[in-house]
Structure 1
Amino acid sequence: MIREWLKSSDYCAFIANGSILPRNKDNSGPLEGALPFTSPEDIEVEICGLRGMGIKQGVTVITGGGYSGKSTLLDALNSGIYNHSIGDGREFVITDQSAMEISAEEGRSIKNINITPFIKWIPNSSAEQFSTDYASGSTSQAANIMEAINVGCKLLLIDEDRSATNFMIQDIKMRSLIKHEPITPFTERVRELYEAVGVSSVLVIGGSGEFLSVADQIILMDNFVPINVTQEAKKLCEHDKPRERIPLTKWEIERKITTDHFSSYPQGSGTEKLMVSTMGYMMIGDEQIDIRGLYNITSHAQLAAIAFLIRKIAISNQDRLIFLHEKIKKALEDMEREGVDIVFSSFFPGFERWLELPRINEVLSVINRMKHLNFIQLEPSEHL
């Protein structure tokens, strides 16, 4: 009921009073003796008889000193994409189900993505059709955001500790010093993201005041107690020199893949290869996919379901070009209707039949990190 309420309101998340946000050592449940969550009174809302903190759509900054609970709050919001069992402590932390946690992911593979909203130019490469086997922190974070928008994400969750500093901010002094800067920092696009394409952001920021002037709501965590400091923070920005508005950008991308290298069979082999490593890698055919930066995959069972789903699309495909959204969406609908394990195969050792249904977001995130695939951007006429 809370999820349905969120869909028809101008809120993107809700944290009920009394929730236990910190986790125990093995992350299996609430931390014993932890302080229950209490919403600041001025942003408290009531939904379905429950009172708690509502986070409105737009740009929200969570700030505070070290070890104050900022990242714990963001982690709870990230886990609120899914429903929790009773006694979990976070059962009434409810987040927009399209949300994705975004970070820098140095070394990831990127294939044919338009990152020009954040990176204007790249030496010896194209920012409009950017590809690399080993991305930098800033190019990987730019690609992660563009891919999230492409899959329909309406809420970005970003922790500055996991971000590339030069991607997130550039202060006035550095702006004056560096005349030819190819990076458009996230501070300059975060409002446009919401106003132009309806994508909200919740940002954990502890080291820079750059985001205060562009935020709609600012929450200060003080020893795990949230305080609404929006008005106080805005006063600090009153005498800031106004920034020059940058031109609006194009956010939409859509790609298809060619099937030349989309296979669960290693080249020259008659036996399929499918494996999920505890070290954060997935092996499909010739691909070894680094999934350590995908913070929205919740369990080994969900990861296994993603592996089997991708393998099923690969072996059943007859087309030379694949429209990934359509294929994955249909496969997930079939799994939801007929049972998640319709994609399971006992041919591969090391997998249990118990699988958990993933979102299209994570399936595409894994495919986007495959190094041998050929991605083609669609021309406008191909959308018709």
Structure 2
Amino acid sequence: MFTSSHLRQQLSSINRKSYPAYKTLKGTYDFGDYQLCIDHVQGDPFASPSHISIRISRKLAGFPDFCLASRETCIALQDYLLRKFEEQIASYSFKAKGSGKSGLISTTHCGQEILERTACQITAKELIVRFTVGFPANGRTINAFELEKIFFDFLPICIQKALYYKNLNKKSVEEVIFLAEDQMFVRKELEKRNLAAFVADGAILPRQSGVSQKPMKNSIPFTSPASLKTELFLPHRGKLTGMGIPKGITLIAGGGYHGKSTLLNALETGVYNHILGDGREYVITDSTALKLRSEDGRFIKDVDISLFINDLPNKKDTHCFSTLDASGSTSQAAGIVEGMEAGTKLLLLDEDTSATNFMVRDTFIQQVISRDKEPITPFLERARDLYSKAGISTILVAGSSGAFFHIADTVIQMDSYKALDITEKVKKLCAEYPLLPSPAPVFSMPNFRRTMTAPAIKRDAYKELKLKKQGKDSFSIGKENVDLRYIEQLVDSEQTAALGELLRYAREHLIDNKKTVSQVIELLEEKLKKEGLAGICSSSYTPCGLAMPRRQEIYSCFNRYRR
């Protein structure tokens, strides 16, 4: 470790030299109250910015024990500090001048969800904040005095204002921690009360637009139907009422544009905790919930879809089904079985984005096309067994087929964004419009013994395992592109980046012809539990820019990797 004075001397000595001389700055510098670590130096002023981290001992940071009492409160505090730090550095970005990215100071921009990220970590000993800085230059000639401004004038102010408890609003910190504990309490209550999800009275479900997840202004607050009203007594907030959605089969119905998909969207992101003021802070869904849709053209490898599809005309084995170009029905069947393998206990489906022939066969089509000529057992006939025999509930948005009403335990009608419980009314109508009897084949649990059979790593492993991140929807590893467009519960591009690192790590260290998909992912989860995302990074340092995905998204990623 060097002193901050040494860093000043180094900067002075390399001023006006060619840009590669910046590489000599790499190392750790003691600034008294904190350490500044230059982890990676960019190659030129137009390249990706340099990676910097700040380390402060927990004692000096001064956060009280109640802030770090559990993993959930620790993640909530990390999220809060990262937002405060980004707020501070934004006012200094590009105030140091130069070419290209000179003077850029940036870190992770957090969304409405609270995620565990590498950009801010609290360990047993220290608080670590990671960010990037564009080292200043004129052309490709070092302008060290501008970088000195960043390190010695701008950053100390940002660090003092954002990362020390004594300088933060104590009430705001307390609210963040108390909200995390209340949200954790509601999640535990779901299991105790046999609920799949909870939507608080007063929640703001609509979002500003398709490209903004912030709450819509002047929208109608959610109100629970009296029959589904659930009363909770939270540790800090106290009494909270809302709609408890029971486990089983729940139907969300209503006219177009009345709020059906908005409610489902709130439930699918309810697997994550949300920040204070989001409107969905108390929309809490079973943490294993999986949103599914049909994916025409998706890759499927060795999945047992016989629960839904059998006796194909081409005699293809559906107990070990593979295809490079799945149909809507086979992709949705595979998605459900893969979700079961991942431990999912709640399926979220929207009729609009599902394969019609997979979901239902109405009375007329059953008379036109006999059962022995149809290889698909529709979801309509499997949903009840999925719950009673596998413990998997379903929440389904239905807008066109009345057949689903016959299997529903609970029916919620959305009427101008107001929720109504119409279960009793529907059950009476179902008696007047009976379905043609169509018993499904015997239910049997799918076989999950799928092995991962990627080729052995060659000498040119760098090319074989090189990652290229492409936003939230995809990444490439080597020459293979992994398409995650339809994994709708990925909410941040940093989760996608982490999935790429996880797949790369598994490819390099875990995958062989003996381990199943589940065994590989279990080993990854053990690694993440012990070392966090830092343990699977390909670089010599932990970068800013990774966020923890759920187990469901890890499975979804691996299942779409063609090798």
Separation in 2, partners of 1:268, 1:77: 41
Contact 1:266/1:273, CA 8 A, preserved across alignment: no
Please state how far the C-alpha of 1:120 moved relative to its aligned partner: 1.7
Separation in 2, partners of 1:299, 1:114: 31
Q: Does 1:365 align with 2:556?
A: yes
What pairs with 1:322-337 in structure 2 (closer than 5 Å)?
A: 322-337=515-530
Match of residue 27 from structure 1: 212
Deviations along 1:244-303, whole A, 9 cap, x unmatched?
A: 32232212321332444376x798875632112138322112321111111121211111
Please state how far the C-alpha of 1:319 moved relative to its aligned partner: 4.2
- Which of 256, 266, 279 in structure 2 is aligned with 1:76? 266
Match of residue 111 from structure 1: 301
Deviations along 1:120-168, whole A, 9 cap, x unmatched?
A: 2223222221110000000000000011011110000000111011111
Q: Does 1:187 align with 2:380?
A: yes
User: Which structure carries more helix by proportion?
Assistant: 2
Higher mean alpha-carbon deviation, 199-208 vs 281-290, is at: 281-290
Contact 2:510/2:520, CA 8 A, preserved across alignment: no
- Which of 444, 447, 455 in structure 2 is aligned with 1:250? 444
What pairs with 1:173-252 in structure 2 (closer than 5 Å)?
A: 173-179=364-370, 180-239=373-432, 240-241=434-435, 243-252=437-446
Separation in 2, partners of 1:332, 1:355: 16
Deviations along 1:328-348, whole A, 9 cap, x unmatched?
A: 233234324433232223489
Q: TM-score, normalised by structure 1?
A: 0.91
Please state how far the C-alpha of 1:114 moved relative to its aligned partner: 1.3
Please state how far the C-alpha of 1:70 moved relative to its aligned partner: 0.2
Separation in 2, partners of 1:141, 1:260: 24
Match of residue 102 from structure 1: 292
- Which of 459, 465, 469 in structure 2 is aligned with 1:272? 465
Contact 1:341/1:354, CA 8 A, preserved across alignment: no
Aligned length: 369
Separation in 2, partners of 1:205, 1:367: 30
Match of residue 242 from structure 2: 52
Q: Write the letter of the residue equivalent to 2:202.
A: G
Separation in 2, partners of 1:176, 1:242: 9
The 3 A distance-change label for structure 1 pair 46 and 266 is farther
Separation in 2, partners of 1:362, 1:368: 10
Q: Write the letter of the residue equivalent to 1:94.
A: I
Q: Higher relative CO (CA 8 A, sep ≥ 6), structure 1 or 2? A: 1
The 3 A distance-change label for structure 1 pair 280 and 216 is same
Match of residue 342 from structure 2: 151
Separation in 1, partners of 2:298, 2:456: 18
Separation in 2, partners of 1:215, 1:262: 49
Q: Which runs of 5+ in 2 are unaligned?
A: 1-184, 234-238
Separation in 1, partners of 2:379, 2:198: 25
Contact 1:266/1:285, CA 8 A, preserved across alignment: no
Match of residue 378 from structure 1: none
Which of 1 and 2 has greater Rg?
Answer: 2
Separation in 2, partners of 1:342, 1:268: 19
Q: Which runs of 5+ in 1 are unaligned?
A: 373-384
Separation in 1, partners of 2:519, 2:309: 29
The 3 A distance-change label for structure 1 pair 242 and 136 is closer
Contact 1:155/1:202, CA 8 A, preserved across alignment: yes
Where 1:152 maps in the other structure, the secondary structure is coil
Where 1:309 maps in the other structure, the secondary structure is helix
